[in-house]
Amino acid sequence: MPDPRTGRRPTVSASVHCRVSVRAVWLARAVPWAGPAAAVGLVALAVLCPGLRAAGFDGTAREERHRAADNWLSYDRDNTGQRFSPLDQINRSNIGDLVVQWAYQFHPVPLRSEATPIVRDGVMYATAGGTLAFALDATTGRALWRFDYPFEAQGRGRPPDWNRGFAISGQRLYMGTVDCHLVALDARTGSLLWKSLITEEQPCFAATSAPLVVRNRVLIGVRGGDTGRLRGFLDAFDSETGERAWRYYTVPAPGDSGSETWPDTDAWKAGGAAPWTTGTYDPALDLLYWPTGNPGPKDFDGRNREGDNLYSASVLAMRPDDGELVWHYQFTPHDEHDWDANETPVLVDAEWQGQPRKVLLQANRNAFFYVLDRTNGEFLLGEPFARQTWAKGISPDGRPILNPEAIPSLQGAFACPDIHGGTNWHAPSYNPGTGLMYVTARDGCGVYYRTGHSIDHDGRPARQFVRAIDIQDGTTRWEIPFLGDEAQEINHAGTMTTGGGLVFFSSRVGNFAAADARTGEVLWHFNTGGTIRASPMTYAFQGRQYVAIVSKNGLFTFALHP
Amino acid sequence: MTLREMTAWTRIGLAGAVLLSTVWVGSWTICEASAQDASFTGSGPAPKNPLSRDAAAVQAGRGLYQQRCAVCHGQDARGSMASNLVRSRIVARGSDAALFRILARGIPGTEMPPQADLEEIQVWQVVSYLHGLARPGLQPPVRGDVDAGRELFRAVGCSGCHRVDGEGGFWGPALDSIAARKTSEQIRADVLEPSSKVIEGFRSVVAQAADGRRIEGLLKNQDTFSVQILARDGTYAFLARSDIRVLESSSESAMPDYYGQTLRDEQLQDLLAFLDRQRDPFVPFDRGFQNY
């Protein structure tokens, strides 16, 4: 197993012992706490491992720790949102030997495939489009069961036929659906246990995010913040019965805290702020971190919603038991550019600017990279990571200093980033070994009208990148520019990083690739032959590490050539 | 519009339609064409089914089917030398009249002969039987005490393996949609003679691995290179063929075959009435490879 810092490959005989110790070092530095599902094993590993090399250890405990490291149990692997796996069998020195192991093709062909599969103990659970779900032997890709959700049609036209995958708890799998239900399936057989309507009292525009499980709560929000008809909310359901435990409206009603940021009209009833992606959770602080979308009723014309429009384009820190709001931070007050803040709030414990801190990192669609103190929401840093003209900077109190020329107008106002943002919902990742956050970024500009938006490249075409952001100061340490056909087209493919010192990323035209996490040197690539609009994951089973990515009509899995 | 005037997509669509109609549903097109020129008697309006879908007609139709059709289309009409009629578009969605015409005239140019020696009423009986197979929802509900049946479902052990409404075990197929997929006759047969047809994916299996392990469970999937087995504790075992010394799969269902003896007639009727109400359109399970 090579050392992740030097890339040297030790002798084969040392590899088993060494893997445990390398993981331990990485983990001790990386995740002294972690999400509850993966947490038990990880924490034990982090705490115990430095001593293990000398002390020797009990085989069963070792097995369990291995298993925790081997699994990928939620959309972002664990509840930190880091998308960092300690697995290092596939690493910088041998990535050239990575080959396809198996593929699984979706039928019928979904409109979009945005899901990240999850893997527990060698079984992969994945969704395709908005209705198909299946379990596969993760070593061969052979199907164990398949479930096809017969959704209830919502009005006319093709529904948003995609979701981003499962959450798992015990023998239950949870999936959001195109008709706004939370569905629970038996993980062993794929049979339906229950389905609960999410959108009671609100119109349905689909539940596309992967749910998050915290203890006995299953959390999920909905999309629809651009429709001018939705008052956003986050729902918590009982993980066993499917009963709703609580609902938190992300737009306060008149009289509630935050309602002073709305005019004295009915605008709040269509105030948007949809939490349409998956949040994260810190078990030590018992806080959920959930990002919200743009305000309504109109995306680009804020004249009928004067004020900051809380809690749109924000991150909310909440109690999982009852949905109590503990603190909030609004990235884009009174957003008029459709810059949802639905990017992953990544939770990291690190030495930050000389002090050990519990921080929350977000590379926001508004092109700024933020560092917050996640214990209290204190703003620590806000620096651009992609081309932007809308703000002159972020003031020390965390409020953006606006450029008035970038505000949408009747004649059109030029502003960067364009509607697609400096990044978007697709997952970023953070590697504790490098201290870098890996973001699929876009440099692009547009003209914003009160009635809409047109992409105007200011004579320069938009460009797509993978950027490595130093979390200490927000600077870009390296970038990988996409070229040719994939240089300009909006890329909704996320990243994933590993203990093998690698970062995996993908492109619009279907290239799946890996780079050195320290330098950005591209070491490996593979053409999947279909648009990638998802984020990669990795897992191990029976001593073998795999990497998987969903690409348009299929799912591809890779491992080292034996 | 000439071919030249069509857009590229129209041409592709047309070509696809022609290809589909000639290759995929060739027989269907042929019989539709023949159905348009004549009825059973050779002329006049489309015939109407004089039979309600009563049990006697279905039963008679089943007898006729077994004598004449089963040899090619299979005992259960799921296809053998000739096509699967349960999945057939014309059986599932076509009118009674269209099916009647095919039976009466045969499909020229194929092995499907006309049933010219049958009485008209007998042809309708076969039509009733086939439509009942493909569209079980059209059957009249099974008589019996549904609540008593629900109680029996728990009391006699069905729910230990089968799930209904999210309650029950995972060892057998979930039954929420059973009556939407099967006729009451088939369900009755499944209860009384579970081993007459074991559903793939629920077959009991024992694998002896080359390393000495013995793995017992349900054979969920197998191919030329690998085998996937679900164990009683809900975990999966994956084996490469090359690592298996012996793989013994049972021809017997894991379900007990004594319900015919242990249940009184009215109890069985109540249980069947309960199962007959399980018409949830959800497809609760599907083996992964069936989608191709």
Mean pLDDT on A384-392: 97
Does B113 map to a domain? yes
Q: What pLDDT score was predicted for residue B107?
A: 86
Nearest CA-CA distance, residue A554 and chain B, Å? 14
Provide the pLDDT for residue B129: 83
In the predicted structure, residue A443 carries a pLDDT above the cut 90: yes
Closest residue to B238, CB basis, from A122, A134, A149: A122
**Same domain membership, residue B207 and residue B193:** no
pLDDT, residue B49, reads 78
pLDDT in tens, A58-74: 556 777 777 789 999 99
Domain annotation covers residue B292: no
Chain B hits for A139, Cβ within 8 Å: 226, 238
Tell me what percent of the residues of chain A surpass a pLDDT of 70: 87
Contact residues on chain A for B223, CB-CB shorter than 8 A = 142
Q: What is the pLDDT of residues B14-39, one digit of tens each?
A: 555 555 444 444 344 333 333 333 33
Residue A333 lies in a domain: yes
Residue in A with minimal Cα distance to B225 = A140
Chain centroid, CA A260 distance in Å: 31
Any alpha helices (H) in A383-453, and if so which ranges?
Answer: none
Q: How confident is the model at residue A216 (pLDDT cuts 50, 70, 90)?
A: very high
Last residue within a domain, chosen from B122, B138, B154: B138
Q: What percent of chain B has pLDDT over 70?
A: 75
Kindly state the helix (H) or strand (E) to which residue A30 belongs, with its residue range. helix A15-30
pLDDT band for position B166 (cuts 50, 70, 90) = confident
Residue B43 located in a structural domain: yes
The tally of domains found in chain A comes to 1
Residues in CB range of B187: below 8 A, 6 or more apart: B178, B179, B272, B275, B276
Residue B91 is predicted with a pLDDT of: 78
Nearest CA in chain B to A107: B291
Arithmetic mean of pLDDT, A488-514 = 95
Alpha-carbon distance of A341 to A252, in angstroms, equals: 18
Are B243 and B156 members of one domain? Answer: no
* Beta-bridge partners for A133: A127, A147
Taking a C-beta distance cutoff of 8 angstroms, is the pair A147, A108 a contact? no
Cβ of A150 and B288 within 8 Å? no
Q: What are the tens digits of pLDDT across the range A507-528?
A: 988 999 999 999 999 999 999 9
Q: What's the pLDDT at A133? A: 93
Work out the minimum CA distance from B270 to partner chain A, whole angstroms: 25
- CB within 8 Å: B292 and A188: no
Q: What's residue A139's pLDDT?
A: 96
Q: How confident is the model at residue B291 (pLDDT cuts 50, 70, 90)?
A: very low
Residue A17 sits at the chain B interface (C-beta within 8 Å): no
Last residue of a domain, one of B114, B138, B162: B138
Distance from CA of B239 to the nearest CA of A (A): 10
What is the span of the domain harbouring residue B267?
Answer: 146-197+255-287
What pLDDT shows up at residue B224?
86
Whether residue A314 lies inside any domain: the answer is yes
If asked whether residues B31 and B98 sit together in one domain, one would say yes
Average confidence (pLDDT) over A314-321: 98
Residue range A257-273, pLDDT digits in tens: 999 999 999 999 999 99
Q: Is the peptide bond before B113 cis (omega within 30 degrees of 0)?
A: no
Type of residue numbered A24: A
Q: Is the pLDDT of residue A255 over 90?
A: yes
**Which residues, in sequence order, are CB contacts of B39 under 8 Å at separation 6+?**
B45, B46, B47, B97, B101
Which of B138, B159, B182 is where one domain is finished? B138
DSSP E strands, A8-92: 84-85
pLDDT above 80 for B138: no
- Average pLDDT in the A126-153 region? 89
User: Measured on CA atoms in the order A24, A29, A33, A36, is the torsion positive or negative?
Assistant: negative
Query: Which range, A198-207, A223-232, A269-278, has the best average confidence (pLDDT)?
Result: A269-278
Tell if the CB–CB gap between A191 and B230 is shorter than 8 Å: no
Give the per-residue pLDDT at A28. 43
Is the predicted pLDDT of residue A41 greater than 50, yes or no? Answer: no
Average pLDDT over residues B73-78: 76
Any domain includes B4? no
| One domain, residues B224 and B269 | no
Question: Which residue among the candidates A338, A349, A418, A443 is catalytic per the annotation?
Answer: A338
Instruction: Output the CA–CA distances (angstroms, integers) from residue B2 to A317, B5, B14, in the order listed.
Output: 65, 5, 12
Residue of B nearest to A170 (CA): B234
**pLDDT for res A164:** 96
Residue A92 lies in a domain: no
Q: State which residues form the domain around A270.
A: 165-276+278-343
> Exposed/middle/buried for B234, CB within 10 Å: 0-12, 13-18, 19+?
middle
When pLDDT is cut at 50, 70 and 90, the band that residue A124 belongs to is very high
Can you tell me the mean pLDDT for A116-136?
95
Q: What is the CATH number of the domain that holds A170?
A: 2.40.128.630
DSSP string covering chain B, please? --TTTS-HHHHHHHHHHHHIIIIISHHHHHHHHHHHH--TTSSSSPP---S---HHHHHHHHHHHHHHTHHHH-TTSS-SSS--SSS-HHHHHS-HHHHHHHHHH--TTSS----TTS-HHHHHHHHHHHHHHH-GGGSPPPPS-HHHHHHHHHHTTGGGT-EETTEE-SSS---TTHHHHS-HHHHHHHHH-GGGSPPTTSEEEEEEETTS-EEEEEEEEE-SSEEEEE-TTS-EEEEEGGGEEEEEE-SS-SS-S-HHHHS-HHHHHHHHHHHHT---S-B----GGGG-
* A406-439 tens-digit pLDDT: 999 999 999 999 999 999 999 999 999 999 999 9
3-state secondary structure of A12: helix
B13 and B118 assigned to the same domain = yes
Sequence-ordered alpha helix ranges (H) in A439-547: none
In the predicted model, what is the mean pLDDT of residues B262-286? 82
Are residues B44 and B94 located together in one domain of the fold? Answer: yes
- Shared-domain flag, residues B63 and B129: yes
Chain A residues inside the 8 Å CB shell of B282: 149-150, 192
Cα–Cα nearest to A22, from A87, A73, A81: A87
Q: Please indicate, yes or no, whether residues B69 and B21 belong to a single structural domain of this protein.
A: yes
Q: pLDDT of A149-172, one tens digit each? A: 877 765 556 678 889 999 999 999
In a domain, A336, yes or no: yes
Given a contact cutoff of 8 angstroms between Cβ atoms, the answer to whether A75 and A486 are in contact is: no
Q: Is residue A307 part of a domain?
A: yes
What integer best gives the mean pLDDT of chain B?
79
B39 and B163 housed in the same domain: no
Predicted confidence band of residue B86 (pLDDT cuts 50, 70, 90): confident
Average pLDDT over residues B204-218: 96
Q: Does residue B169 lie within any of the structural domains?
A: yes
Q: A504-525 burial, b for 16+ CB within 10 Å, e for fewer?
A: bbbbbbbbbbbbbbbebeebbe
A contacts of B230 (beta carbons < 8 Å): 144, 188-189
Whether residue A286 is contained in a domain is answered as: yes
Task: In whole angstroms, give the CA distance from residue A553 to residue A115.
Answer: 12
SS (H, E, C) A267-301: HHHHCECCCCCCCEEECCCCEEEEECCCECCCCCC
Contacts of B169 (CB under 8 A, 6+ apart): B159, B160, B161, B162, B163
| Comparison of pLDDT for A478 and B91, the residue scoring more | A478
A1 found inside a domain: no
Please give the residue that has the higher pLDDT: either B79 or A561: A561
Q: Which residues of A touch B170 (CB under 8 A)?
A: 186, 188-189, 191
Number of domains, chain B: 3
The answer, yes or no, to whether residue B1 has pLDDT greater than 60, is no
Q: What is the CATH number of the domain that holds B225?
A: 2.30.30.100
What does DSSP say about strands A446-449 and A452-455: parallel, antiparallel, or unpaired?
A: antiparallel
A234 within a domain of the structure (yes/no): yes
The pLDDT assigned to A158 comes to 63
Nearest to A233 by CA among A197, A262, A285: A197
Task: Measure B165 CA to nearest chain A CA, in Å.
Answer: 7
Task: Please report where in the chains the tokens 């020195």 appear, as a residue.
Answer: A93
